[in-house]
Amino acid sequence: MKKIMILGASPLQIPGIKQAKSMGLYVVAVDMNPDAEGFQYADEKVVISTIDIPNVVEAAKRLKIDGVLTLCTDLPVRTVAAVAKALNLPAISVENAYRATDKILMREALKENGVPIPCYFQASNEEEFMKAVREIRKLGYRCIVKPADNSGSRGVNLLSGYDEDYLKKAYLYSRENSRSGNVIVEEYMEGVEVCVETLCVDGVCYPIQITDKLTTGAPYFVEMGHSQPSKLPAAVQEEIKRVAVAANLAVGNFNGSSCTEIKVTKDGAKVVELGARLAGDYMTTDLVPLSTGVNMVEGIVKIALGEKPEYEHKYHKASAIRFLKSEQGSITSITGVERAKEIPGVIRIGFDRKVGDEAVEIKSSLDRVGYVIAQADTPDEAVKICEEAMKKISIKVKR
């Protein structure tokens, strides 16, 4: 029986653990949390941080694994690369893993290869930050600030003012969410944002689906909904796919999966950023199979084992997810869920907060209360089903 190591055992990684088990594989799950929910589905658990590269590599050697992967999280991609190098397994290279998980290195690679990106500057201290803001403003753009190495909209801020006190607070907010301490200041791109889900095999990148996105807007741009397939014109979708493929090849993502965020601006499609792993927010674990029939989780397991994944659409349907929020305060009750589940087309309803938890301002994806996933014949219908279900759900809080 072949062994596969999956980095992470949180709810995000459970689909991967279950998929690998269904394929007859021996699953080794790695997570620093000894009580991680995903451990109950794995054959063996290893309690190590997924970014503790030396110890994960040592465990992989000891267990003689045949493949390694992670789902939906960025920094463990570096560990995947290190393990693959040590055991000569298929995966992204170490050098390219760093390109794909550091926004500065990523932008340098994209720029060098002629992939369209926004104007940007790196800032490693407050002085560089202030200078970068001035340079972006000179070019006539609004400024958006991001940590160099985080995800889930953490630390992202579209500047709404430029006085010194405000800028200092904005810099600190982004820097505090950056593991390296580096931040990026770049032009804020006006336009529709989408995400392209791809599988990459031996240097060939296959776009599987384009996802339309709904965010909170300024200043934090937290994603509050997704729908598939995209409703953009066919010609625009083809341009988006070309840019996504070029971006993956530019950073060297030759074996694995990716989610490439792209904005369609007046100057064409430009890359926001790229993740060399499956998209989070249930986009690839749930929405893609619901809209296309393509099992991307199975795909990345096969790629990790050196096998060829399936990437052709089995059907053409639509899917959507909408995330729940509530007023701020301590959650006292959540009702109406069963009635919401009865709506035709509702696939699943889940919660990230429970009674007794605190509902807070939505500043990152971690702050959302829950979600509704639906399937229909068109994206508009799928979104409508989600919205109807959300109306049935009542979340009460005590301030």
Look at residue 183 and tell me whether its pLDDT is greater than 80.
Answer: yes
Q: Is the pLDDT of residue 221 over 60?
A: yes
Q: Is the peptide bond before 54 cis (omega within 30 degrees of 0)?
A: no
Q: Is 306's pLDDT higher than 90?
A: yes
Nearest to 20 by CA among 281, 254, 307: 307
Mean pLDDT within 288-316 = 97
The pLDDT confidence band at residue 216, using thresholds 50, 70 and 90, is: confident
Q: Tell me how many degrees the CA angle 373-153-37 measures, rounded to the nearest 5.
A: 55
pLDDT of residue 151: 66
Tell me what pLDDT residue 148 has: 81
Per-residue pLDDT reduced to its tens digit, 14-34: 999 999 999 999 999 999 999
Long-range contacts at 45-53 (CB < 8 A, ≥ 24 apart): 45/9, 46/5, 50/7, 50/8, 50/75, 50/76, 50/79, 51/75, 51/76, 51/78, 51/79, 52/79, 53/78, 53/79, 53/82
Instruction: Kindly tell me if the per-residue pLDDT of 380 is higher than 80.
Output: yes
Whole-number percent of the chain with pLDDT over 90: 85
> In this predicted structure, what is the pLDDT of residue 244?
98
What is the mean predicted confidence (pLDDT) over 30-45?
A: 98
E strand segments, 276-390:
318-324, 329-335, 346-351, 358-359, 370-376
- In sequence order, the 6+-apart residues with CB closer than 8 A to the CB of 227 are 211, 212, 214, 287, 318, 319, 320, 321, 379, 382, 383
Please indicate whether residue 152 or residue 243 has the higher confidence score (pLDDT). 243
Tens digit of pLDDT for each residue in 344-375?
999 999 999 999 999 999 988 889 999 999 99
User: Quick one: pLDDT at residue 364?
Assistant: 86
Percent share of the chain, pLDDT over 70: 99
Tens digits of residue pLDDT in 122-174: 999 999 999 999 999 999 899 999 988 766 567 888 898 889 999 999 999 99
Model pTM? 0.89
> What is the pLDDT, as a whole number, of residue 158?
87
pLDDT of residue 179: 83
Taking residues 90-119, report their average pLDDT. Answer: 94
186 in Cβ contact with 144 (< 8 Å):
yes
236: pLDDT strictly greater than 90: yes
Structure-token pair, residue 3? 């062994």
Residue 92 has pLDDT above 70, yes or no: yes
- Out of 19-23, 186-190, 228-232, pick the least confident: 186-190
What 8-state DSSP symbol labels residue 307? P
What is the identity of the amino acid at 395?
A: I
What is the DSSP-derived secondary structure letter of residue 303?
A: H
Under DSSP, the state recorded for 39 is G
Confidence of residue 389 (pLDDT cuts 50, 70, 90): very high
Average pLDDT over residues 303-319: 97
pLDDT at 254 over 70: yes
